[in-house]
Amino acid sequence: MGFQIESQISSCGGKLLKLQHESETTGTSMNVNIYLPQQYYKEDGAKIPALYYLSGLSCTPQNASEKAFWQPQADKFGFAVVFPDTSPRGADVPDDPENGWDFGLSAGFYVDATQSPYDKNYKMFSYVHDELPNKLDQFFKSTGSESGSTLDFLDNVAITGHSMGGFGAISGYLKQYASPRKYKSCSAFAPIANPSLVPWGKKAFGNYLGLESAQWEKYDPANLVKNISNKGNDVILIHQGTNDPFYKEQLKPHLLIEAAKGTSWEGKINLNLVDGFDHSYYFISSFVPQHAEFHAKNLGLI
């Protein structure tokens, strides 16, 4: 029921753990990376919150672990970072019959599929927001730490992500916003802000969720902001590069700003258009320090 530690890699002041475990939710073996910051090893009795980072299309847990460079920020503020996979994998997991890279393997879209043949394995919403955090909590409670530090995967937690994962972060945050609030903080890098209206989202939602618009609305941030009340001053931080080739056709962050108008989220979606940046990890890593500080504040670390 626990995790197998495939490798444990020294990185900055802490360690990156590459874990594997059997998921009942997806019915497959799943990979996940976790960065444990220096405070976990070096501070007596530190209480360390977790930031979940949801990756974009075509990624595994490795890409962001290697290129987003959360590690020094995690060390600076004292949070762990969880890098889940982007879909179930394995010989029995159905993929896009046309082999599109934007659907199926590496493209689970962080929803619970209801449509055959995807409904058996593609339960990424439940996996990321429920099974994974609970199992991490159990596992690290059972192993303990030499310093007496503890990791919090369930309560004092934040979420962020890139592109498909930026959508997954905002969607997961808003869907679970009601008290007790699941995530204390949410941000996104170049998210697919209104998936129901763009090619990537239509393909994924159509195949995973079927054609009823009500099913799509349950996940679409541009709909969720209309139905979930901001409790006060919660802000969603977003960065979007102006040279991102997907900005205008697939990501459309302005549609989320539009949707929030007249709702309790108006003015609370802090969209930063950054001149000249693209959709790559060069973009993500450039703004990770700002997102890290944002989450650190919301997690009570500063």
Catalytic residues: 163, 244, 279
**Per CB under 8 A, 42 contacts a second copy:** no
Among the candidate windows 49-57, 63-71, 108-116, 214-222, which touches a second copy by CB under 8 A?
63-71
* Number of neighbours of residue 259 by Cβ within 10 angstroms: 21
Closest CA to 31 of 117, 112, 108: 108
**Per CB under 8 A, 285 contacts a second copy:** yes
**Out of 90, 248, 282, 302, the residue judged to bind a second copy by CB under 8 A:** 282
- Give ∠ CA 171-176-177 in degrees, rounded to 5: 100
Q: Which residue has the tokens 């995807």?
A: 118
Residue 99 tokens, joined: 């082999």
Cα gap 218→224, rounded to integer Å: 7
**Out of 2, 20, 24, 66, the residue judged to bind a second copy by CB under 8 A:** 66
**3-state percent breakdown (helix, strand, coil) of the chain, nearest 5:** 35, 25, 40
Among the candidate windows 13-21, 89-97, 221-229, 246-254, which touches a second copy by CB under 8 A?
13-21
Min CB(10)–a second copy separation in Å = 4
Rg (C-alpha) for the chain, rounded Å, is 18
In the complex with a second copy, which residue's Cβ is closer, 217 or 278?
278
List CB contacts of 256: < 8 A, sequence separation 6 or more: 170, 191, 193, 194, 221, 222, 225, 238, 269, 271
**Per CB under 8 A, 53 contacts a second copy:** no
In the complex with a second copy, which residue's Cβ is closer, 3 or 283?
283
Q: Which residue has the tokens 């290129």?
A: 67
Cα gap 106→87, rounded to integer Å: 5
Would you put residue 252 in left (φ > 0), alpha (ψ -120 to 50) or beta? left
**Out of 197, 255, 273, 274, the residue judged to bind a second copy by CB under 8 A:** 274
List CB contacts of 97: < 8 A, sequence separation 6 or more: none
Min CB(12)–a second copy separation in Å = 5
**Out of 67, 120, 202, 218, the residue judged to bind a second copy by CB under 8 A:** 67
Among the candidate windows 67-75, 173-181, 193-201, 214-222, which touches a second copy by CB under 8 A?
67-75
Among the candidate windows 65-73, 123-131, 182-190, 258-266, which touches a second copy by CB under 8 A?
65-73
Min CB(275)–a second copy separation in Å = 8
**Out of 11, 39, 156, 171, the residue judged to bind a second copy by CB under 8 A:** 11
The residues of the shown chain that bind a second copy, judged by CB under 8 A, are 9-13, 15-16, 66-67, 69, 71-72, 241, 243, 274-278, 280-283, 285-286, 289
